[in-house]
Chains A and B, each alone.
Chain A
Amino acid sequence: MKKRGKGIACIFYGTGYGNGFPDVSRAYAELQPDGKVAIYTGATEVGQGAKTALSQIPAEVLGLSVDDIIFINEDTSITPDAGTAAATRQTYNTGNAIKMAAEELRNELIKIAVKELELNSDIGLKMKDGKIFLEIYPDKCITFSQIAAMQEEPLRKFAVFTAQTVQIDPETGQGAPYWPYTFSACAVEVEVDTETGKVEVIRGAHAQDVGRAVNPTLIEGQMDGGFAMAMGYVIYEDLGLENGKIWNNKLSSYIIPTSMDMPEIQNIIVEDPENTAPYGAKGIGEPVMISVGPAILNAIYDAVGVRMTEIPVTPAKLLKAIREKEQKEA
Chain B
Amino acid sequence: MELKKVIKAEKLDEVLNLLAENRERAKVIAGGTDFVIQLREKKIAPEVIIDISDVDELNFIRKSGEFIEIGAATKFTTIKNSGIISDAFKGLKDAAGHVGSPQIRNLGTVGGNICNGSPAADTVPALLALGAVAVVKSKNNTREVPLEEFYLDRGKVKLEPDEILYAVKFLNSKPGQGLGFVKLGLRNALAISSISIAVFVETDNDINCKDVRIGSGALAKFPIREKEVEAFLKGKTLHEDVIEEATEFFGKILEQRLAGRPPVEKDYKPYAIKGVFKEALNKALSVVC
Residue ranges of A at the interface with B (Cβ–Cβ < 8 Å): 193-198, 236, 240, 252-253, 255, 257-261, 314-316, 319-320, 323
CB–CB A258/B188 < 8 A: yes
CB–CB A315/B272 < 8 A: yes
CB–CB A196/B267 < 8 A: no
The distance in angstroms between the C-alpha atoms of A61 and B267, with both chains bound, is 62
- The minimal Cβ–Cβ distance linking B76 to chain A, given in whole angstroms, is 16
The distance in angstroms between the C-alpha atoms of A126 and B263, with both chains bound, is 72
Given A252-B192, A316-B267, A197-B272 contact (CB < 8 Å): yes
- The minimal Cβ–Cβ distance linking B225 to chain A, given in whole angstroms, is 22
Residue ranges of B at the interface with A (Cβ–Cβ < 8 Å): 101, 184, 186-192, 194, 263-264, 267-268, 271-272, 274-276, 278
A-B contact count (CB 8 A): 55
Q: 11 pairs across A/B with beta carbons < 8 Å?
A: A195-B278, A198-B184, A240-B264, A252-B192, A260-B188, A315-B272, A316-B263, A316-B264, A319-B268, A319-B271, A320-B267
Q: Which of B188, B194, B263, B272 contacts A261 (CB 8 A)?
A: B188
Residues of B within 8 A of A259 (CB): 189
Residues of B within 8 A of A319 (CB): 268, 271-272
Q: 4 shortest A-B CB distances, which residue pairs?
A: A195-B275, A260-B189, A260-B188, A316-B268
Given A193-B275, A197-B272, A315-B194, A261-B189 contact (CB < 8 Å): yes
CB–CB B189/A258 < 8 A: yes
CB–CB A314/B186 < 8 A: yes
What DSSP secondary structure best describes chain A's contact surface? loop
Q: Which of B184, B187, B191 contacts A196 (CB 8 A)?
A: B184
Residues of A within 8 A of B263 (CB): 316
The distance in angstroms between the C-alpha atoms of A196 and B182, with both chains bound, is 12
CB–CB A255/B191 < 8 A: yes
Residues of B within 8 A of A252 (CB): 190, 192
The distance in angstroms between the C-alpha atoms of A260 and B187, with both chains bound, is 8
Residues of B within 8 A of A258 (CB): 101, 187-190
Residues of B within 8 A of A255 (CB): 186-187, 190-191
Residue of A with least CB distance to B277: A195
Q: Which of A195, A260, A314 contacts B274 (CB 8 A)?
A: A195
- The minimal Cβ–Cβ distance linking A276 to chain B, given in whole angstroms, is 42
Residue of B with least CB distance to A312: B186
Residues of B within 8 A of A194 (CB): 275
Residues of A within 8 A of B274 (CB): 195
- The minimal Cβ–Cβ distance linking A191 to chain B, given in whole angstroms, is 12
Since A257-B187, A314-B186, A315-B186 are in contact, a sample of 7 more A-B pairs with Cβ atoms closer than 8 Å, ordered by chain A residue number, is: A195-B274, A196-B275, A255-B187, A255-B191, A315-B268, A315-B272, A316-B264
Interface centre among B187, B191, B271, B276 (most CB of A within 10 A): B187
Residues of A within 8 A of B188 (CB): 258, 260-261
Q: Which of B186, B189, B192, B268 contacts A236 (CB 8 A)?
A: B186
The distance in angstroms between the C-alpha atoms of A257 and B191, with both chains bound, is 10
The distance in angstroms between the C-alpha atoms of A193 and B274, with both chains bound, is 11
